[in-house]
Amino acid sequence: MFHIGKILHVYRASDKDVIASDSSVQATVEMWDNHLLTIGVKSGIGAELKQDDVVLIDYAPSSQNIPVPKQVAVKILRGETAKKTWGAYKEFWEKKKRDAETAPQPYNNVR
């Protein structure tokens, strides 16, 4: 399972304002459903990652015994691929919100 996020900020050990205990890379992302997360970044793409990139995030469980998602960026999407993918997810989210707003609401004051 994968999710889409847009990079807001990248944290690298080489940044002048970051003091790191290792060379791993993390990023703060705006998720397609408006959540805000700081996630890990696979080492193979960390050097290339920049603000406003769209990333594919591995959301598979860490293991069968630990059902917590990995939350690691594994691919960078750019150009038309990024634009179309981000747009499709955001359009889905907006439709879901509109549908929830127009759905009949149950009566909460029934006695």
Q: Which two tokens stand for residue 51?
A: 């603000």
What whole-number distance in Å separates Cα of residue 69 and Cα of residue 53?
Answer: 21
What whole-number distance in Å separates Cα of residue 48 and Cα of residue 16?
Answer: 18
Residue 81 lies in a domain: yes
- Is residue 74 exposed (0-12), middle (13-18) or buried (19+ Cβ within 10 Å)? middle
Residue 109 lies in a domain: no
Whether the pLDDT of residue 111 is over 70: the answer is no
Q: How many separate domains does the chain show?
A: 1
Residue 76 lies in a domain: yes
> For residue 97, what pLDDT is reported?
86
Q: Which two tokens stand for residue 101?
A: 């707003």
H or E segment and range at residue 94: helix 79-102
Residue 108 lies in a domain: no
Residue 107 lies in a domain: no
Q: What is the value of pTM for the model shown?
A: 0.84
CATH code for the domain in which residue 11 is found: 2.40.50.140
Kindly state the average pLDDT of the residues 54-82. Answer: 94
Whether the pLDDT of residue 12 is over 90: the answer is yes
Domain membership of residue 38 as a residue range: 2-102
